[in-house]
Structure 1
Amino acid sequence: MSGDFLIQEPQLSICILHFWTYFWVQSGCVFLGVWVIAHECGHHAFSDYQWVNDTVGLVIHFALMVPYFSWKYSHRRHHSNIGSIEHDEVFVPKPKSEIEWYLNNSPGRVITLAITLVLGWPLYLAINASGRQYDPYSKGLAWLICIYVLPLLILNGIIVFITYLHHTHTSLPHYDSSEWDWLRGALATVDRDYGVLNKVFHNITNTHVVHHLFSKMPHYHAVEATEAMKPILGEYYRFDGSPLYKAMRREAKECLYVEPDEGSKGVFWYKNKI
């Protein structure tokens, strides 16, 4: 029996590879069909109503990781300037003086074609590869960085900051499998006060305990639920109203690693003695 299995195993692997190859190819083809719908939306050909075109196009292109409005405007310029060496947007041919040396041989052309097929579209979206060249230090790039990239970096930092302070505190226990259960884990978090930002963040900052207990509850009920929950949980509810900069400095200093509780097997507490 085992010998038969060993004989069949390579065949099974080949079948699996064939299945995935078929799945990838047919999914890519279906994706293109969906992409074409968004393409028509960009031309305002999908609907007589612009808001319908833009809504459907934005949703579809978002799912396909394409910046809908940026693409719509650049694609419109392509249609307005098709065939123009100076003003077209895609696959603008280069003069002989700008042709790279590796395109003068078959391996170079094959490698270039492979890279173009695999990375051409994301490179076009990212740096306008194969399109009309722009000054990389133009006001457009600076504007993009100012209104999108830097706020996105701030968002990323805030997410990490909030999550770290929710789950890092000297009063928060951790458990191994001998003591852990879902309720104990859900209570191993702490609410913080972010002042006016509590409202901006939909109170995820000062109602995180109740969020772990009732994760399907919408944020607009979280404050009310937290107030109702406090007397029930008593000492098991944790809140730290320390100024955030002090809290971050303290937790980074005092919560370096965990050690087992001396009196309770399976329970661990943050320590900082190295």
Structure 2
Amino acid sequence: MGAKGTVIDPEKDFVPPNFTIKELRDCVPKHCFKRDTLRSFSYVFYDLCAVAALAFGAAHIYLLPEIIRPVAWLAYWVGQGVVCTGLWVIAHECGHGAFSANRTVNNITGWILHSALLVPYYAWRHTHSQHHKNTNNMNRDEVFVPRTKSFRGLQGKPSTPAWQTDTIFEDSPLYHVGKVIGQSLFGWPLYLYRNASGPKYARGASHFNPQAVLFRPEQFWQIVWSDVGLLITASVLVVCGLMSSAQAVLFYYGVPYLMVNFWLVSITYLQHSNAAVPHYNDDEWSFVRGALCTIDHDYGWLLNVCLHHINDTHVAHHLFSQMPHYHAVEATRHLRRKLGKYYHFNDTNFLVALYRTMRYCQFVEDSGSILFYRNTSIAAPKSS
């Protein structure tokens, strides 16, 4: 994939990178690695102000003419979903230790913010850490691990490289659109509940179970505290429903929660599933090679800012997970120059990218050291 996201022939032309983490770190200015707790809290403050402002506006939608109230609610849901995703990103930084140099500040802030968004902070922090340590490793990565051809039951059927695409609305488009919607809205709770899209060793394991195979015995009470945070949030929502109505909780919290799910799953899916980058088996995998399989996506200035650049600086984040988001844009500029063709960037409209990835990135072959996504389409190839 080039600077504009054009694909030539990744399977034929790909040569694994051999950068060391030191030479990549040395190309980034040292100040980019400094964490400023006060500055980090300023972003929490901005986001909470935006959440309050949007909720205040929603509380007055009833004053609008009835005909435009549905549009106003839709605007609230979309806006609140984006802003709360920004808070989710900050809590995620706490889990990495990127929010503050103080571990206690990280954990308290992350636990509060993630619990408020129904995310088990310590449980997800652990599995997400394993994802960072094993990115794009077929055997040890934690999320969006490709299914193999045999798992899909496609043995003996012809397959086509996923980068060879035909028209976007070829066969069964509604099926793939439905898969995109289903994964985007419900993929996150399914991942937390039963490790959907997770590795073979832990399929069906729950992030809410302190005795799940996902966790070590000494992490038992951390997982319990994660569950306590969720119970507190759920209790608050129940009380709010009793004091007002279930519809109010659904409108003010429930639908924005689904929008957060949409952004979270869509962002991470596109960052780690692409026709132009491989997954590795153990004999060819390394930490740097896995991290460089990440794809940055530009969603436009406003969304990039509201999402704290989690989408367009994810390569830097995977290489240096303790780097604060407010330094990641500058770091990405330096990394892009250093990495050259090994820096992956896609500026395709994200809805189109979601459809294409879901449609064409169906499986990988059962054997091989470096595996690219493939599909069962045998249509004439067309550059995407």
TM-score (norm 2): 0.36
Higher Rg of the two aligned structures = 1
Structure possessing the higher relative contact order (Cα contacts under 8 Å, 6 or more residues apart): 2
